[in-house]
Amino acid sequence: MFDLSDLNPQQREAVTTVDGPVLILAGAGTGKTRVITHRIAWMLHRGVAPGNILAVTFTNKAAREMLGRVRQLVPARRSREGRETERPTMCTFHSLGVRILRRHIEKLGYKANFTIYDDTEQLGVVKRLLATLSERDIKAKPQDVLAALSRLRNAPPDAELPVTQDGMALARHLRRRYETALRAANAVDFDDLILLPIRLFRAHADALEECRARYRYVMVDEYQDTNGAQFELVRALAVEHRNLCVVGDDDQSIYGWRGAEIANLLDFERHFPEVKVVLLEQNYRSTNTILTAANHVIRNNPRRRGKNLWSRHGEGRKIRLVSCAHDEAEAQWVVDEIELGRMSRAIPWGQQAVLFRTNQQSRPMEAALRRARVRYRIVGGQSFFDRLEIRDFLAYLKMLHQPDDDASLLRIANVPARGLSDVTLERLLGASQERQCSVFAAMRHTDVQEGLAVRTREALQKFILWVEETRQRLESIQAGQPLGPWAEGVLTEVGYWDHLRKSERNLEAAENRIRNLKELIAALDGPEAATGGTGPDRLAEGLADMALDTDRSSSSEKHGDEVTLITMHSCKGLEFPHVYIVGLEEGLLPHTRAKEEGTLDEERRLFYVALTRAMQTLTLSHCEGRKRYGQALPAQPSSFLRELPPELVEHEDAAARKPVASDTGKSLFAGMRDRVAQMGP
């Protein structure tokens, strides 16, 4: 018998309700991941075929964690050879799109070996399109145009998009040209990974029926974060068999600015009227003081599904609300508190987090932490795949997989330097546009080569020959043979290892970059990599997986004892024993734009998410003045602070901090002495 004894009654109801539409309203910290994994395990226990189960998440990390937990609950089925025969599909929306397109994209007129453009490559396309316009027509940054393009393409046809959004007018003007440019390179972007399957399903009923027959039980995590296109994709898969389970919390919907539609969750009954709604309210993270405060705040939102979080962790300490003179004083006060907690109560740095509304607020906090020699990390720093060497290597692999990928080719054509200057590459790009072909095709044109200087022509011909020979070696790799030696050879042949060592003044920094590349090469033949198929097929699959693995970090980045600095938007899903939320002032939270754009409810949800990250203690702070653009300006406390229950809040003035009493000081230093003694000589 499958054991559900560690679940509470509401969790058990969510786990065992399998057939028909189910809406699980999972409040913050109520164990939704446990519910999802137990629900999948329950279906497997009841005889549902693993291949018929689809669970969609928003991050690869969540998908991997989900798979790992399910394997612990239900051992994988294996063949006589010991291989796992079949397992449930647990992936992101984008990974699901890739799975569908790998089988069917040729029906939409694309070649099977399509390339996935990441944000940087998409931005390059936008910049090239903007370069064709007159300066007076360009009234937005390329990044804003790209963001507007994404929102425009994902929105339902009847959606009312904000006219004031930077770049929206240009996005409407450039949309068709942008899509044509990607199509010409046989490339798709992340939005296409959702939009193209929808187009496929509308035009090819056989493809839709095949997917429906495979995915007979569909689950979607973080449903409140889905956009219009994602909703349409899910609905297409589940509308006939109706076995759709969505898990989410409207009170934690904080991504409306990037297209998330909270209405997908609030109006779920409109599309599935027979839905079973299960409410998860028992919180396993925070004290009741923290939860009661959060409940009071979020009740001020008019349109929401009622929830009342509670826990068995007791009442806990009151919430501290501290008033500071200015942002530098605020930062210093927080750092002093962090150090006081560490010295007097042995609270490690790693158990403490500082949350803020905007990235700019981290500057004074970082400065104060540095002065105090407190180790810290900023969540949301540089991604593994944003590193220079990783981007270069992926561009080489993409170009060798698909030479018509202009963005990748232009990135590495002269890296390391091989005699193809920027001027030469601009001429080659112009030649490709004149001939309406790819840059690589233009490179091979005899008349194009004849227009170049002798040394440049020889360098170009040598490069073309190397590309063709390297692609032939890739094609000779058979099923079961490793890709790693071929990939490492690419970097050796072009001199990239030496290029890294010469370009880095610091030898250790160069070795770190080399280790990053070796890690990526190893991933091509890692346990999650495909082993069947030819070299080109496996490279295509590996590139797709890497393009989608946006939340990956280097395995060498182990987080030790360090304070976490994090924005409120980045903290969802995380928890910390001791939380400081700084900068709670009008104009920061709620943000100035909230009143202009009518998003005050979302700002309140953001505050709610921040409050519910705290497990044991919660400290809030605001300033009487704050520097903006180098100028000191007066500040008013956030209106959200008035929504906290007064009886749960202790007010403090940072400037009136009393010196540590002698008895406290003695115990503090006694504690320090004991810990030093424990460390040994």
Read off the DSSP letter of residue 47. T
Phi and psi based region of residue 47 (left: phi greater than 0; alpha: psi -120 to 50; beta: remaining): left
Which residue is associated with the tokens 């910290």? 29
Q: Which amino acid is at 54?
A: L
> Is 33 an active-site residue?
yes
386, two tokens? 């944003």
Q: DSSP 3-state assignment of 614?
A: strand
Question: What residues have CB less than 8 Å from 264, skipping those under 6 apart?
Answer: 223, 224, 226, 231
Q: Residue 393 is encoded by which pair of tokens?
A: 């290597």
Q: What is the DSSP letter of 76?
A: P
Residue 358 a catalytic site member: no
Q: What single letter denotes the amino acid at residue 162? A: P
Q: Is 404 in the active site?
A: no
Active-site pick, 30, 122, 252, 424? 252
* Cross-strand bridge partners of residue 89: 54
Active site residue 252: yes
Number of Cβ within 10 Å of residue 405's Cβ equals 25
Contact in structure between 564 and 353 (CB atoms under 8 Å): yes
Question: Is the Cα torsion angle 251, 252, 253, 255 positive or negative in sign?
Answer: positive
Predicted local confidence at residue 630, as pLDDT: 59
How would you classify residue 592: left for phi > 0, otherwise alpha for psi between -120 and 50, otherwise beta? Answer: alpha
Residue 322 in contact with residue 653, Cβ under 8 Å? yes
**pLDDT value at position 584?**
97
CA-based nearest residue to 153, from 94, 98, 229, 100? 229
- Of 291, 357, 337, 393, which is closest to residue 604 (Cα–Cα)? 357
Query: Please, are residues 28 and 252 in contact by the beta-carbon 8 Å criterion?
Result: yes
Phi, psi of 131 (to 5 degrees): -65, -20
Q: What is the DSSP letter of 637?
A: B
DSSP, res 290: H
- The three-class DSSP label of residue 575 is coil
Stretch(es) of the chain classified as CATH 1.10.10: 115-185
Predicted TM-score of the model (pTM): 0.79
The class level of CATH for 288-382+558-679 reads alpha beta
- Give the span between the Cα atoms of 390 and 386, in whole angstroms: 7
Q: What does the alpha-carbon distance between residue 4 and residue 544 come to, in Å, rounded to a whole number?
A: 37
Q: Specify the pLDDT at position 118.
A: 86
Q: What is the pairing mode between strands 563-567 and 614-623? A: unpaired
Q: How far is CA 24 from CA 31, 223, 632, in A?
A: 11, 10, 47
Paired tokens of 345: 């109560």
| Cβ-proximal residues to 563 (8 Å cutoff; 6+ apart), any chain | 338, 349, 350, 352, 353, 354, 369, 374, 375, 376, 377
Q: Are strands 115-116 and 625-628 parallel, antiparallel or unpaired?
A: unpaired
Domain boundaries for CATH 1.10.486.10 within the chain? 385-548
CB 444 within 8 A of CB 424: no
Note if 222 is an active site residue: yes
pLDDT of residue 156: 73
| CATH 3.40.50.300 residue ranges for the chain | 9-102+193-280, 288-382+558-679
Catalytic position from the list 342, 572, 613, 626: 613
Q: Are 174 and 122 in contact (CB under 8 A)?
A: no
Residue 502 to residues 506, 514, 520: CA-CA distances in angstroms? 9, 12, 21
Q: Which residues lie closer than 8 Å to 581 by C-beta, 6 or more apart? A: 354, 355, 356, 568, 610, 611, 618, 619, 620, 621
pLDDT at 188 (0 to 100): 94
Strands 631-634 and 625-628: antiparallel
Q: Rounded distance, CA 247 to CA 22, Å?
A: 8
Per-10-residue mean pLDDT for the chain, 681 residues long?
87 96 96 94 92 92 87 71 72 94 93 88 89 75 88 76 70 91 90 96 96 96 94 95 96 88 93 96 97 97 93 96 93 95 93 92 88 87 75 94 91 92 90 90 92 93 96 90 92 92 78 85 70 80 78 52 93 95 94 86 96 98 82 89 96 69 42 44 40
* Cβ proximity of 146 and 123 under 8 Å: yes
- 231 contact partners, CB below 8 Å, separation of at least 6: 261, 264
Q: Which residue among the candidates 121, 179, 191, 222 is catalytic per the annotation?
A: 222
Distance of alpha carbon 39 from alpha carbon 66, whole angstroms: 11
Q: What is the pLDDT of residue 673?
A: 42
* The amino acid at 389: E
In 3D, which of 77, 67, 80, 2 has the Cα closest to residue 33? 67
Q: Which amino acid makes up residue 65?
A: E
One of 1.10.486.10, 3.40.50.10490, 3.20.20.140, 3.20.19.10 is the CATH number of 385-548, namely 1.10.486.10
Fold of 9-102+193-280: Rossmann fold (3.40.50)
**Looking at the domain covering 115-185, what would its CATH class be?**
mainly alpha
CA nearest to 40, candidates 79, 71, 1: 71
**Cα distance between residue 243 and residue 18, in whole Å:** 7
Query: In a 3-state reduction of DSSP, which class is residue 561?
Result: coil
Percent helix, strand, coil in the chain (nearest 5)?
55, 15, 35
Of 118, 121, 192, 221, which one is the catalytic site residue? Answer: 221
Residues whose CB is less than 8 angstroms from the CB of residue 28 and which lie 6 or more positions away in sequence, other chains included: 249, 251, 252, 283, 285, 294, 309, 608, 609, 612
Q: Which residue has the tokens 């749960």?
A: 648
The single residue of 32, 69, 398, 572 carrying the catalytic annotation is 32
